[in-house]
Copies of this chain bind each other. A is one copy, B any other.
Amino acid sequence: MEDSVPMEDSVPAEELPPSFPSAAPLALRHPRGTTRLLLGEGALAAAAAPLGEWLAGRRAFLLTTPRVWGLHGGSLGPLLAPATAVHRLEVPEGEAAKSLAETGRLWSAMLAAGGKRDSRLLAFGGGSVGDLGGFVAGAFLRGIACAQLPTTLLAQVDAAIGGKTAIDLPEAKNSVGLFHHPDLVVAEPAWLRTLPPRELRAGLVEAVKVAVALDAALFARIEAALPALLAGEPAALAAVAAAAATLKVGVVEADPEEAGVRAVLNFGHTLGHALETAAGYRGLLHGEAVAWGMRFALRLAVPRGLPAVDAARLERVLSEVVPAPPPDVDPGALAILLGRDK
């Protein structure tokens, strides 16, 4: 599934548009209903009404990290007022949150707090919070409704969209999980302004992945705007995030449970997951691992027919987004982990 990298040769490197249509409302139809997505500038303001309606008269669980809540809780908090009660559940930053022990602790806390089938869960944070929150919601009392409020570029572009949820076991990343689509995705670009540069770069990798797999014109725009994006220029980031997210919505609608075409989004992920597991889910961000996975996949793809010029363009972008050195992991352990991937 990783040897196909569609890319055009001759796409003009256009400038990015000054801004993406503000909070363009978007719907993702899936087999169990519809996800409403609010992307782009003003997304949070536009979410006030639908969030309020969704929460009214219900108990809400807000899954977040101390850092995210400290930075952005002030902007989200007032929108949660329609709930009868809001229980904030805090988890560690990053992959450390996605353990079975943490999952059990959250379920117990939700039961103790009076969680019922009509309760709501909001995942407010990066990809790990979203993966964990979706799983916790999907299996609590056989499934309660959730909303994804992604605060990182990686989560806004990729993780929060499409209903894939997961936790990790020591043996393999994302090895336990569900398809549990959120009712609502709110991706506010202002939340990206506090991202550490390394998180920003890791998120750009997923945007590059979506573009290279699905939209050569977007890839060319990312290439052209790379300095602005790496500098965290808000309008450039907001535009790329919304464009990549919109592309992903289309893929998920076409293949909601990854029976076929959606697998294109796993580009770089087989080696990427193995790298993360080999590193003990520490010291290596998901996007960084995927960048190395894509660069590795490129070496396989060129002998199988990928034009060298395409490979070189992607290689150049990835090496700028995630510079050397590659992660230091044991090759023997990596080989075993590669065999465990789904």
Give A residues with C-beta under 8 Å from B: 31-32, 100, 103-104, 107-108, 111-112, 114, 116-117, 135, 138-143, 164-166, 169-172, 175-179, 257, 339-340, 342
Contacts and interface: CB of A to CB of B under 8 A. Distances in A.
A165 B164 CA distance: 20
Given A31-B31, A100-B104, A342-B117, A164 B179 contact: no
Pick the 7 closest A-B CB pairs, nearest first.
A111-B171, A100-B104, A142-B177, A141-B342, A139-B176, A117-B342, A111-B172
A142 B138 CA distance: 11
A108 B142 contact: no
A143 B108 contact: no
Count of identical protomers in the assembly: 2
B175 A107 contact: yes
A177 B117 contact: no
15 contacts: A31-B31, A31-B32, A100-B100, A107-B169, A107-B175, A108-B170, A114-B340, A139-B176, A140-B176, A141-B175, A141-B176, A142-B179, A142-B257, A142-B342, A143-B179
Q: Is the interface of A mostly helix, strand, loop or mixed?
A: mixed
B139 A139 contact: yes
Contacts of A111: 169, 171-172, 175, 340
A28 B301 CA distance: 45
A309 to B, nearest CB: 35
Contacts of A178: 138-139, 142-143, 178
